[in-house]
Amino acid sequence: MNWDTLYILRQEILLTVLILIQLIGDLSEDEKRSRIIHVTLSSFLLFTLVGFLPGEPASLFGGMYVSDDLRTLLKNILSISTLIILLQSSSWLQQPSNQTKIGAFYLSLFSTLMGMYFMIAAGNFLMLYLGLELATLPLTLLAAFDKQLRRSAEAGVKLLMSSAVSSAILLFGLSLIYGVYGTFYFTELSVLNDSSYLSILALIFFISGLAFKLSLVPFHLWTADVYEGAPLSVTSYFSVVSKGAALFTLMLVLFRVFALQHATWTLALYILAISTMTVGNLFALRQKNMKRFLAFSSITQAGFMMLGFMNVGSLGMTTLVYFMLIYALSNLAIFGVLSMVSNATGKESMDDFNGFYKTNPGLSLIMLVSLFSLAGIPPVAGFFGKFFLFTAAASSGMYILVLIAVLNATISLYYYLLVVKAMFINTNDTPIPTLHTTSYEKAAFVLCLMGIAGIGFMSSLYDYIQGLM
């Protein structure tokens, strides 16, 4: 252990410090608890910035922990998303009913983030599994955060059960991997190739385990209920950060470790892509509750993401990371507006948004831009993200899959437009009153909008990501 090691582990160490701050903060009197919000936010901002410090590729603890520029970027995407969520959740946490639970919220959130960091940084399947468990268990706490509400408690239990099942499946896959190859180290696995049925089975179990986290169809059944039951800030954490970590892990493992077996997993993901896009879309069409709606929309988007896996090269990985970044910012902007509305009025249904433009033009425009970004309408960033994903799939000659995907994208436009219709066209006798935007929320929206408006035009960002592959 020397200074270099500490520097490589800087993000994890700082995160630990943040967790410790929460424990100390919880010692203070109840009335003064909300001060911890400002302390946490400013230290988290610092923590996010520290992630951008340059670093050398390194491998620690006998190859258990790996660090390189790509992994740092992936962690940074997660920490920026978390920063936005923290900014958006500040006013919700200041509500009297939540004041005593501020420390618990931050504590669980940072613990899961720490777990996700270890998932990404893992150089060994055991490390990956430990990270995954650390990321999952506190999430169930977060889902059940409003524990006095029946649906929130139900969400927590549901998540716990499905996580346990998915962990079991994943573990079974891992044990088969060990059985076939005799090692858990990524570097050793990446040069081994085995086409026995057992290795295929191992891969399928592994993918299924992570597909739970990514809520790919048919492993999606927990998603809508958990999204609906959890508080909004937690829901946005699920749909962006948790999903992002699962996607990045799947990506790193498949592209970097099992690249030689790509024929097997491309086929598996091809099927999952079609079922996820289609089923997610069909369910999203009929949702009235905004949280459930976004749950199914995020399932559909996860289906689109699978198209990036069809190109087994730097194009596939680049488009995946690029798309995830755009998806995160677009989704967070929508969740930001939703949580403002929900905090002020408790309304979460799509009909409640009727006439929203009349009373809140600014927020409606933010929603409009973000929804268009999710739907893939130019000139906002979502168009570029989706276009490049489709390009990745087309580069392998999978035009049928691309056709199914673009038709699904058109269908998804329908329900995104339903929200636009509610806000801009429908009228309402009791519209949502004009909402006050705190400066933290403004900062969050600025971050999101800068990304949504700018990323598409900044080809340098794409080139930068590609340079890391």
Partner 1 sequence: MNPLLLLLFIPILTMVGIVMVTDLKWVRVISAIGMSAQLLFSFLLLYWFYQERGAGNTDPMLFVSSTMWYESFNIQWKFGIDGISMAMILLTSVVTFAGIFVSWQVDNLQKEFFISLILLATGVYGFFISIDLFTMFLFYEVAVIPMYLLIGIWGTGPKEYSAMKLTLMLMGGSALLLVGMLGIYFNSAPAGGKLTFDLLEIKRVGIPLSAQLFFFPFTFIGFGVLGALFPFHTWSPDGHASAPTAVSMLHAGVLMKLGGYGAFRVAMYLMPEAAHELAWIFIILTSISVVYGAFGAIWQKDLKYINAYSSVSHCGLVLFALLMMNETATTGAILQMISHGLMTALFFALIGMIYGRTHTRMIHEMGGLMKVIPFLSVLYVIAGLASLGLPGLSGFVAEMTIFVGAFQHSDTFHRIATILAISSIVITAVYILRVVGTLLLGPLKNDHYLQLQDATWFEKVGGVTLVLAIAAIGMAPLWLSNLIREPLMAILQTLTN
Q: Which residues bind partner 1 (CB under 8 A)?
A: 315, 318, 372, 377-379, 383, 387-388, 390-391, 394-395, 397, 399, 402-403, 406-407, 409-410, 413-414, 417, 420-421, 424-425, 459, 462-463, 466
Q: Which helix (H) or strand (E) holds 58?
A: strand 58-60
Closest CA to 122 of 160, 71, 176, 193: 71
The least distance separating partner 1 from the CB of residue 423, rounded to whole angstroms, comes to: 10
What is the Cα–Cα distance from 309 to 331, expressed in whole angstroms?
Answer: 22
Closest CA to 18 of 111, 137, 145: 111
Q: For residues 130 and 394, which CB has a smaller minimum distance to partner 1 in the complex?
A: 394
The least distance separating partner 1 from the CB of residue 250, rounded to whole angstroms, comes to: 23
The least distance separating partner 1 from the CB of residue 278, rounded to whole angstroms, comes to: 14
Please tell me the total number of residues recorded for the chain in this structure.
Answer: 469
Q: For residues 336 and 382, which CB has a smaller minimum distance to partner 1 in the complex?
A: 382
Q: For residues 10 and 358, which CB has a smaller minimum distance to partner 1 in the complex?
A: 358
The least distance separating partner 1 from the CB of residue 457, rounded to whole angstroms, comes to: 8
Quick count: other Cβ atoms within 10 Å of Cβ 406?
15
What is the Cα–Cα distance from 114 to 125, expressed in whole angstroms?
Answer: 17
Helices and strands, number each (H, E), in the chain? 21, 2
The least distance separating partner 1 from the CB of residue 380, rounded to whole angstroms, comes to: 10
The least distance separating partner 1 from the CB of residue 358, rounded to whole angstroms, comes to: 10
First to last CA, the chain: 29
Q: For residues 88 and 412, which CB has a smaller minimum distance to partner 1 in the complex?
A: 412
What is the Cα–Cα distance from 438 to 225, expressed in whole angstroms?
Answer: 30
The least distance separating partner 1 from the CB of residue 117, rounded to whole angstroms, comes to: 29
| DSSP output for 120-160 | HHBSBHHHHHHHHHHHHHHHHHHHTSSTTSHHHHHHHHHHH
Q: For residues 88 and 318, which CB has a smaller minimum distance to partner 1 in the complex?
A: 318
Q: For residues 16 and 391, which CB has a smaller minimum distance to partner 1 in the complex?
A: 391
Closest CA to 206 of 128, 135, 301: 128
305's tokens: 């993401």
The least distance separating partner 1 from the CB of residue 289, rounded to whole angstroms, comes to: 21
Q: For residues 218 and 361, which CB has a smaller minimum distance to partner 1 in the complex?
A: 361
Cβ–Cβ < 8 Å for 94, 17: no
Q: For residues 113 and 422, which CB has a smaller minimum distance to partner 1 in the complex?
A: 422
